[in-house]
């Protein structure tokens, strides 16, 4: 856990949602299409191909200021590994519906392409979600929190309860609780159909008598609001949240949106499609500004498309976007209103030594990420994971080979379109560890300073036959961590041949996210969401 | 006041609706919050209504926004200034909601209340509130707090003032950029209340911190405050403290900041003396005019005239004019358009010689610009040049520009130039206009695009107003009337439109002799659309011509049309006949008595709410009001009579408060036929279907004319005609009605 020791971390299974038995067919709509942690790591949101968004929250209480503090302390005391956050289902809502563009005779899928958390204000969560064409801002509000807050306010403002106003007030309260009920029931219906929250994972969490957990929730509620009569009635609804669409940012993209990214100023965000990047103000949904336009006047001259775009985490004026030709362009929005030409280009000159049709395809960057400090850029293309230093644009400072063993098969992969699969990448909060996905549900994790061979490889499953490279990890000593973390760790087969890697190209691990504070990765495979920690 | 005695029932309904699940009802109720408060009385408002509103902060934003707005003017209803503080609680919670516009409105209302509060209350109640918000856990509270300091500060004692200043300083360094932005944009307000000693020390320190912020958006807002802050300082302080900042900003790396400077620069010039303008600000401005970012040049070019007005003509000619020349050849069309929209204003500043020598070539080159907006912008400001050098020098190149715009491929460009034709006619004079532009005006009447034809008809009216009826008689009317023989019915329709517009301008005599015969002739057109438009035109001409002509020509024509096979023609013909009757009724004095009578009868009903005939009573009442509001000038009775109006208003209030379902039935049953463009806004499923059924049995027109005859025969004088009433009713509460209507329509269909 100590970041200064340049050792691969020892990864353990932590949690799974929506685990499937092997013979189950996965509905396409249930496949997870994006995963994202919020800034504090207290929440993780998952979008799927069916246009739904599911939010999970940490079990150990809400994101109060105290908790943050204690977590920081714990981190310093090196206790984190004992206190890994565990998540539970919070809420789910339908973000996008399938649509039909009558002008262009085009079907618009409901699939959630990207999710981003916005700065939360006044206790509610804000999420930007996008499908191919339309971006929406969602607010997920805790009904329980709200009612508690109301009571709290009430108690504050009216030390003495006035009978008359209390009458009025209790009517309001009834309305709210009624609302909570109404909202509650459709959720139950939805979740019973949704394999992401398959019966087992749900029941296991709430059904198994877990005294520690149950009592914790209660005591938490009690400690915040000591002995107030009406509260206890409402406390039952604590877990119910409802989501409301606050804004719809539509009709700005001719091509499919591949990424959205919030600016550090908390006011603006960008949305990138294949050829253009637009700048929005969060509060203004009917106007956006085009800042990058790569569309040639003649579409036959098209040589590259935008594959991913992200704002710098600190400098509000810097923006990086990657292209299908393997370039990462860094743009300074201060220089001019249109940023088409003012780019600094990061490109790996080595890669352009021997050119062939296939090498050009695999050079396409599928994802870029900034670490929290913004000094580096992590990029993923089909073959490699690369780490770039912002001060060196001629070559990456580190290259981790992911799919080198597939090189002989590229031709086949081209024929069955597998070569166009897009894998995401992510970094740990300290910027020293990197993770990306691969075929056969493999999760590859590397660390700064280590080579391509020194990373860890995990198969994403509840029962991870973890595949070891040369350095086998020590045997896991526990077969089970607790009744809630139903995973156990086994040592993998030592002899892993190259072929085994690539066999199962239908099960690929494309979407993953790293917890902002601790060594915890959430990765999606099919309809399941796995959590691993170190 | 009659409202105090009014039955409490509507109030109970309003209070009940505050808790309704339907957002529209809640919204209506919130908008009537003052009525509720008046009915409850001051004490119950304080003890019940306000606490209730304080907790009601989880509503839809629309409701919260309305609440924040209403509470701002609520002091009289809670018992005057001494109780104003009770309003702080609900507004404080509204200051923390996440929707920006609600917070802004709450802050605005708090400022309104705070500025009326007694000093004592400000210290004891308002300032703690500001401090609470400034220390809020969520940034929304801190954002709101920034806008309240300037109210709390002046009355605070010295120690509190020091504290407030230091709190504001902390807000300027908040972690959240949103809070810093709010602090930056409110700084000048706060600075205005701070004593000058602290202004120079504390406030300027905050300002300097904000101007060095990492976030571009914070610096942007700091620039915005520059000018206001500069005006608070002594000129020499301003030159010493603000000027370097501005000059720095004008060379900021971020074009957005430079853009803001370009927009604000001339305001700052007013704060500093003439000397710094020449030495510092002028070079900065020239740099901005030559900025390599087009957006910055657009902003700078847009302020050229205002900046020149501050400078002496020599400086302007020496420094600004060369830049203007460059800008007129700028590669960005938007820069040229921005320049074109203001450059004409430079003519009065520079004087005649410089204008002819230097500016004229620029005008001419902009007039030949390939981008239509640039040419349009020049043409729209012609009058300013005309004052200085006369139009003659320009007219040579003006004409080709106008003709080219008039025939532009894009109809919006054509529309824009039509708008300017009256202005051009005014500037160029009758002679020039006749020669060159008259043909164009006629040509537009036959444009392919409806908006152009419509605008062209309107243009003719404005020209007739400009040059007088005699000129119009000679130059417009003959050509217009020729269109009557056009083979295209849309062109003939344009003719009717033109006639309805020209009629009032030309006066009764020409209308009767020239226009009316054409219209009557058109009533025999084979296209129904022409015929019902004839009916509409005739209706509009009733007020123009004499009573005798109405009876002799218009009425027979409308009667004939009212027996037309086409239902729309019949509908508009009946409507026309209706307005003839209303017109004649209203011009007779005794009708006022009837109006009074009508309102009296409806007010005597014991309980209008439970009366099933209420909708009809309401309809009657409103239709009596319609003619009054339509023709107030012709009435010799004193309509300023407040009592009369108050009574009517009360009647309407009572009637609209009654149950909707009763009304719904009457409305759908009595709905008129709805079809055709004119009626599109009333098109709804329920009535549409009933009309379809009616057409088959051919009952709709009979029913309609019966309705009209009945009203006419028993002479109640109120001229009840349902369509008007439906209109006004819908207009009063549009969205709510629509909601109901849709549900009803669907149930009927199923």
Question: Are B138 and A176 in contact (CB < 8 Å)?
Answer: no
- Chain B, 109 to 168: residues with Cβ < 8 Å from chain A are 137-140
Burial of A426 by CB count in 10 Å (0-12 exposed, 13-18 middle, 19+ buried)?
Answer: buried
User: Taking 80 as the threshold, does the pLDDT of residue B664 lie above it?
Assistant: no
User: Residues of A with CB below 8 A from B62's CB?
Assistant: none
3-state secondary structure B163-217: HHHHHHHHHCCCCCHHHHHHHHHHHHHHHHHCCHHHHHHHHHHHHHHHHCCCCHH
**B251 and chain A in contact, CB less than 8 A:** no
- Chain A, 31 to 50: residues with Cβ < 8 Å from chain B are none
The DSSP letter of residue A508 is: B
- Rounded to the nearest angstrom, the minimum Cα separation between B253 and chain A is 6
Report which of A249, A198, A276 is spatially closest to residue A95, judged by C-alpha positions.
Answer: A249
Q: Which of B299-308, B315-324, B402-411 has the lowest mean pLDDT?
A: B402-411
Partner residue facing B216 (CB), from A126, A158, A334: A334
**B56 and chain A in contact, CB less than 8 A:** yes
Report which of B363, B434, B431, B374 is spatially closest to residue B397, judged by C-alpha positions.
Answer: B363
In this structure, the strands spanning A343-346 and A376-381 are unpaired
Largest CA distance in chain B: 88
The 10 Å Cβ neighbour count of residue B108 is 15
The residue among B85 and B634 whose pLDDT is bigger is: B85
**B58 and chain A in contact, CB less than 8 A:** yes
Contact, B340 vs B374, CB < 8 A?
Answer: yes
Which band of pLDDT confidence, cut at 50, 70 and 90, is reported for residue B596?
A: very low
Burial of B527 by CB count in 10 Å (0-12 exposed, 13-18 middle, 19+ buried)?
Answer: middle
What average pLDDT does the segment B83-105 reach?
Answer: 90
Report which of B385, B338, B335 is spatially closest to residue B360, judged by C-alpha positions.
Answer: B385
Nearest-by-CA chain A residue for B15 = A168
User: Residues of A with CB below 8 A from B215's CB?
Assistant: 264-265, 316
At B187 the pLDDT is: 92
The residue among A373 and B627 whose pLDDT is bigger is: A373
Nearest 10 degrees: Cα torsion B726, B732, B733, B734:
60
What average pLDDT does the segment B372-376 reach?
Answer: 85
- Rounded to the nearest angstrom, the minimum Cα separation between A246 and chain B is 9
* Cα distance between residue A238 and residue A303, in whole Å: 53
User: Taking 50 as the threshold, does the pLDDT of residue B665 lie above it?
Assistant: no
In this structure, the strands spanning A284-293 and A276-281 are antiparallel
Question: Are B55 and A123 in contact (CB < 8 Å)?
Answer: no
Residue carrying structure tokens 């992590």: A378
What digits encode the pLDDT tens for the residues A9-28? 788 888 888 876 666 677 88
* Cα distance between residue B187 and residue B191, in whole Å: 6
At A43 the pLDDT is: 92
List residues bridging with B475 in a β-sheet: none
Contact, B504 vs B467, CB < 8 A?
Answer: no
Contact, B414 vs B447, CB < 8 A?
Answer: yes
Question: Are A335 and B97 in contact (CB < 8 Å)?
Answer: no
Which band of pLDDT confidence, cut at 50, 70 and 90, is reported for residue B314?
A: confident
At A272 the pLDDT is: 95
User: Taking 50 as the threshold, does the pLDDT of residue B519 lie above it?
Assistant: yes
- Chain A, 144 to 173: residues with Cβ < 8 Å from chain B are 146, 150, 153-154, 157-158, 162, 164-165, 168-169, 171-172
Please provide the average confidence, as pLDDT, over all residues in chain B.
Answer: 75
At B88 the pLDDT is: 92
Report which of A261, A320, A317, A247 is spatially closest to residue B218, judged by C-alpha positions.
Answer: A317
User: Taking 50 as the threshold, does the pLDDT of residue B744 lie above it?
Assistant: no
At B479 the pLDDT is: 84
The 10 Å Cβ neighbour count of residue A393 is 18
What residues contact residue A379 under an 8 Å CB cut-off, 6+ apart?
Answer: A322, A328, A365, A367, A368, A369, A385, A386, A387, A388, A396, A425
Contact, B456 vs B490, CB < 8 A?
Answer: no
Partner residue facing A165 (CB), from B48, B178, B218: B48
User: Residues of A with CB below 8 A from B298's CB?
Assistant: none
Partner residue facing A121 (CB), from B138, B256, B295: B138
Question: Are B19 and A175 in contact (CB < 8 Å)?
Answer: yes
What average pLDDT does the segment A72-93 reach?
Answer: 65
At B92 the pLDDT is: 92
What average pLDDT does the segment B418-445 reach?
Answer: 81
DSSP line for A66-123 = HHHHHHHHHHHTT-GGGG---EEEEEEEE----EEETTTTEEE-----EEEEEEEETT
Residue carrying structure tokens 């403002």: A157
**B262 and chain A in contact, CB less than 8 A:** no
User: Taking 60 as the threshold, does the pLDDT of residue B354 lie above it?
Assistant: yes
DSSP helix/strand/coil, B454: helix
What region does A196 belong to: left with phi over 0, alpha with psi -120 to 50, or beta? alpha
Question: Are A264 and B177 in contact (CB < 8 Å)?
Answer: yes
**A255 and chain B in contact, CB less than 8 A:** no
What region does A43 belong to: left with phi over 0, alpha with psi -120 to 50, or beta? beta
The residue among B350 and B612 whose pLDDT is bigger is: B350
Preferred mutation among A172, A245, A312, A374 to probe B, highest tally of B CBs within 10 A: A172
Question: Are B216 and A316 in contact (CB < 8 Å)?
Answer: yes
Question: Are A119 and B215 in contact (CB < 8 Å)?
Answer: no
User: Percent of chain B beyond pLDDT 90?
Assistant: 15
What digits encode the pLDDT tens for the residues A244-271? 898 999 988 989 999 999 999 888 999 9
Partner residue facing B56 (CB), from A172, A264, A266: A172
User: Residues of A with CB below 8 A from B178's CB?
Assistant: 119, 266-267
At A280 the pLDDT is: 93
Burial of B394 by CB count in 10 Å (0-12 exposed, 13-18 middle, 19+ buried)?
Answer: buried
User: Taking 90 as the threshold, does the pLDDT of residue B733 lie above it?
Assistant: no
**B479 and chain A in contact, CB less than 8 A:** no
At B569 the pLDDT is: 86
Preferred mutation among A166, A265, A317, A333 to probe B, highest tally of B CBs within 10 A: A265
At B487 the pLDDT is: 83
Question: Are A121 and B89 in contact (CB < 8 Å)?
Answer: no
Question: Are A176 and B292 in contact (CB < 8 Å)?
Answer: no
Preferred mutation among B45, B47, B51, B133 to probe A, highest tally of A CBs within 10 A: B51
**B62 and chain A in contact, CB less than 8 A:** no
* Cα distance between residue B682 and residue B676, in whole Å: 10
- Which H or E run includes B458? helix B450-467
**B411 and chain A in contact, CB less than 8 A:** no
Partner residue facing A317 (CB), from B21, B58, B254: B254
At A8 the pLDDT is: 66
User: Residues of A with CB below 8 A from B252's CB?
Assistant: 334
At A276 the pLDDT is: 93
**A463 and chain B in contact, CB less than 8 A:** no
Partner residue facing B97 (CB), from A122, A162, A315: A122
Question: Are B139 and A119 in contact (CB < 8 Å)?
Answer: yes
Partner residue facing B55 (CB), from A139, A150, A334: A150
DSSP helix/strand/coil, B302: helix
What digits encode the pLDDT tens for the residues B132-151? 999 988 889 999 999 999 99
What digits encode the pLDDT tens for the residues B672-696? 332 333 333 322 222 233 233 333 3
Contact, B527 vs B566, CB < 8 A?
Answer: no
| CA atoms A177, A180, A185, A186: torsion sign | positive
User: Residues of A with CB below 8 A from B181's CB?
Assistant: 267
What average pLDDT does the segment B460-479 reach?
Answer: 85
Question: Are B214 and A316 in contact (CB < 8 Å)?
Answer: yes
- Rounded to the nearest angstrom, the minimum Cα separation between B175 and chain A is 11
User: Residues of A with CB below 8 A from B128's CB?
Assistant: none
Preferred mutation among B215, B221, B253 to probe A, highest tally of A CBs within 10 A: B215
What digits encode the pLDDT tens for the residues B526-582? 888 888 888 888 888 888 888 888 888 888 888 888 888 888 888 888 888 888 887
Question: Are A172 and B55 in contact (CB < 8 Å)?
Answer: yes
- Rounded to the nearest angstrom, the minimum Cα separation between B76 and chain A is 21
**A177 and chain B in contact, CB less than 8 A:** no
**A452 and chain B in contact, CB less than 8 A:** no
Question: Are B48 and A164 in contact (CB < 8 Å)?
Answer: yes
- Rounded to the nearest angstrom, the minimum Cα separation between A221 and chain B is 19
* Cα distance between residue A456 and residue A443, in whole Å: 8
Question: Are B98 and A122 in contact (CB < 8 Å)?
Answer: yes
What digits encode the pLDDT tens for the residues B196-218? 888 888 888 999 899 888 888 89
Contacts of residues B289-292 at CB distance under 8 Å and 24 or more positions apart, as own/partner, are B289/B320, B289/B323, B289/B326, B289/B327, B290/B323, B290/B326, B291/B255, B291/B258, B291/B262, B292/A336
User: Taking 60 as the threshold, does the pLDDT of residue A338 lie above it?
Assistant: yes
């Amino acid at each position: 856990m100590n970041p200064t020791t340049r050792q691969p971390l020892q990864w353990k299974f932590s949690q799974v949602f929506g685990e499937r038995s092997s013979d189950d067919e996965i509905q396409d709509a249930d496949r997870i299409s994006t995963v994202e942690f919020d800034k504090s790591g207290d929440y993780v949101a998952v979008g799927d191909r069916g246009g739904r968004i599911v939010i999970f929250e940490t079990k150990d209480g809400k994101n109060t200021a105290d908790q943050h503090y204690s977590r920081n302390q714990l981190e310093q005391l090196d206790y984190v590994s004992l206190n890994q956050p565990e998540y539970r289902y919070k809420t789910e809502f339908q973000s996008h519906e399938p649509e039909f563009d009558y002008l262009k005779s085009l079907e618009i899928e409901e699939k959630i392409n990207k999710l981003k958390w916005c700065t939360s204000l006044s206790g509610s969560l804000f999420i930007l979600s996008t499908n191919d064409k339309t971006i929406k801002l969602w607010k997920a509000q805790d009904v329980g929190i709200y009612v508690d807050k109301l009571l709290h306010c009430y108690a504050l403002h009216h030390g003495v309860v006035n009978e008359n106003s209390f009458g009025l007030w209790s009517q309001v309260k009834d309305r709210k609780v009624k609302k909570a009920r109404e909202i509650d029931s459709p959720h139950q219906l939805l979740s019973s159909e949704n394999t992401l929250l398959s019966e087992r994972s749900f029941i296991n969490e709430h059904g198994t008598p877990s005294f520690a957990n149950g009592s914790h929730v209660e005591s938490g509620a009690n400690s915040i609001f000591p002995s107030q009569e009406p509260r206890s009635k409402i406390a039952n609804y604590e877990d119910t949240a409802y989501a409301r669409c606050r804004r719809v940012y539509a009709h700005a993209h001719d091509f499919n949106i591949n990424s959205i990214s919030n600016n550090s100023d908390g006011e603006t965000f960008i949305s990138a499609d294949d050829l253009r990047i637009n700048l929005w103000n969060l509060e203004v949904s009917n106007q956006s500004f085009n800042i990058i336009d790569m569309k040639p006047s003649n579409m036959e001259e098209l040589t590259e498309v935008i594959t991913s775009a992200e704002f710098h985490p600190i400098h509000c004026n810097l923006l990086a976007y990657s292209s299908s030709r393997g370039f990462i362009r860094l743009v300074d929005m201060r220089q001019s209103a249109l940023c088409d030409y003012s780019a600094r280009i990061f490109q790996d000159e080595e890669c352009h030594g021997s050119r062939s049709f296939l090498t050009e395809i695999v050079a396409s960057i599928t994802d870029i990420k900034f670490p929290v400090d913004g000094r580096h850029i992590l990029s993923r293309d089909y073959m490699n994971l690369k780490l770039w230093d912002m001060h060196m644009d001629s070559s990456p400072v580190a290259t981790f080979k992911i799919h080198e063993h597939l090189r002989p098969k590229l031709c086949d992969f081209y024929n069955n379109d597998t070569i166009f699969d897009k894998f995401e990448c992510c970094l740990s909060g300290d910027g020293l560890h990197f993770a990306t996905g691969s075929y056969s549900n493999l999760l590859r994790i590397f660390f700064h300073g280590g080579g391509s061979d020194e990373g860890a490889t995990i198969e994403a499953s509840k029962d991870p036959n973890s595949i070891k490279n040369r350095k086998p990890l020590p045997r896991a000593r526990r077969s089970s961590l607790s009744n809630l973390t139903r995973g156990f760790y086994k040592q993998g087969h030592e002899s892993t041949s190259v072929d085994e890697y690539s066999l199962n190209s239908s099960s690929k691990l494309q979407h993953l996210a790293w917890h902002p504070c601790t060594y915890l990765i959430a990765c999606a495979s099919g309809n399941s969401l796995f959590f691993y920690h170190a | 006041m009659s409202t105090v005695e009014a039955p409490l029932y509507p109030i109970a309904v309003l209070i009940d609706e505050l808790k309704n699940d339907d957002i529209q009802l809640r919204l209506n109720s919130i908008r009537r919050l003052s009525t509720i408060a008046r009915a409850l009385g001051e004490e119950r408002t304080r003890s019940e209504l306000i606490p209730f509103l304080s907790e009601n902060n989880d509503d839809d934003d629309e409701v919260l926004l309305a609440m924040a707005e209403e509470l701002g003017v609520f002091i009289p209803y809670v018992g005057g200034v001494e109780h104003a503080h009770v309003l702080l609680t609900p507004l404080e919670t509204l200051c923390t909601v996440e929707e920006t516009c609600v917070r802004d409105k709450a802050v605005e209302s708090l400022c309104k209340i705070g500025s009326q509060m007694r000093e004592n209350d400000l210290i004891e109640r308002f300032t703690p509130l500001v401090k609470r918000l400034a220390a809020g856990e969520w940034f929304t509270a801190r954002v709101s707090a920034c806008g309240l300091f300037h109210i709390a500060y002046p009355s605070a004692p010295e120690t509190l003032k020091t504290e407030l200043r230091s709190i504001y300083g902390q807000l300027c360094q908040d972690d959240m950029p949103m809070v810093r932005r709010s602090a930056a944009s409110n700084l000048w307000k706060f600075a205005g209340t701070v004593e000058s000693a602290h202004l120079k020390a504390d406030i300027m320190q905050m300002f300097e911190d904000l101007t060095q912020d990492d976030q571009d958006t914070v610096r942007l807002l700091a620039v915005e405050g520059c000018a206001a802050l500069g005006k608070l300082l002594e000129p020499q302080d301003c030159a010493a403290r603000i000027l370097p900042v501005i000059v720095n900003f004008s060379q900021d790396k971020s074009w957005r900041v430079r853009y803001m400077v370009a927009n604000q620069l001339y305001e700052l010039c007013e704060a500093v003396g003439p000397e710094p303008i020449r030495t510092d600000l002028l070079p900065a401005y020239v740099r901005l005019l030559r900025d390599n970012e087009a957006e910055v040049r657009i902003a700078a070019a847009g302020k050229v005239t205002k900046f020149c007005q501050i400078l002496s003509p020599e400086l302007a000619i020496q420094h600004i004019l060369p830049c203007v020349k460059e800008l007129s050849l700028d590669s960005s069309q938007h820069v040229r358009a921005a320049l074109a929209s203001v450059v004409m204003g430079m003519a009065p500043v520079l004087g005649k010689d410089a204008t002819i020598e230097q500016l004229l070539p620029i005008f001419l080159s902009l007039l030949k610009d390939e981008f239509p907006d640039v040419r349009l912008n020049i043409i729209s400001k012609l009058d300013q040049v005309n004052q200085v050098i006369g139009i003659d020098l320009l007219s040579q190149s003006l004409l080709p520009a106008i003709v080219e715009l008039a025939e532009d491929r894009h109809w919006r460009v054509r529309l824009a130039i039509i708008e300017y034709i009256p202005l051009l006619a005014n500037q160029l004079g009758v002679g020039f206009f006749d020669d060159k532009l008259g043909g164009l005006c006629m040509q537009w009447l036959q444009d392919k695009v409806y908006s152009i034809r419509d605008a062209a008809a309107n243009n003719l009216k404005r020209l007739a107003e400009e040059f007088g009826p005699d000129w119009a008689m000679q130059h417009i009317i003959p050509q217009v009337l020729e269109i009557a023989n056009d083979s295209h019915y849309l062109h003939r329709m344009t003719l009717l439109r033109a006639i309805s517009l020209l009629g009032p301008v030309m006066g009764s005599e020409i209308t009767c002799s020239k226009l009316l015969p054409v219209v009557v002739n058109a009533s025999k057109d084979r296209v129904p659309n022409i015929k019902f438009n004839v009916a509409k035109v005739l209706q509009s001409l009733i007020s123009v011509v004499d009573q005798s002509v109405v009876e002799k020509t218009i009425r027979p024509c409308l009667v004939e049309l009212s027996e037309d096979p086409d239902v729309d023609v019949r509908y508009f013909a009946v409507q026309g006949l209706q307005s003839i009757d209303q017109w004649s009724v209203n011009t007779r004095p005794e009708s006022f008595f009837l109006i009074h009578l009508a309102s009296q009868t409806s007010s005597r009903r014991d309980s209008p709410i439970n009366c099933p005939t209420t909708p009809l009573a309401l309809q009657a009442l409103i239709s009596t009001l319609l003619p009054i509001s339509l023709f107030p000038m012709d009435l010799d009775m004193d309509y300023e009579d407040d009592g009369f109006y108050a009574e009517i208003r009360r009647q309407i209030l009572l009637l609209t408060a009654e149950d909707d379902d009763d009304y719904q039935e009457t409305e759908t049953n009595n709905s008129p036929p709805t079809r055709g463009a004119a009626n599109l806004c009333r098109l709804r499923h329920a009535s549409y279907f009933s009309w379809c059924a009616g057409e088959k049995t051919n009952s709709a027109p009979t029913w309609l004319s019966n309705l009209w005859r009945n009203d006419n025969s028993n002479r109640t004088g109120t001229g009840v005609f349902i369509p008007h009433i439906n209109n006004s009713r819908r207009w009063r509460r549009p969205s709510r009605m629509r909601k109901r209507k849709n549900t009803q329509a669907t149930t009927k269909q199923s």
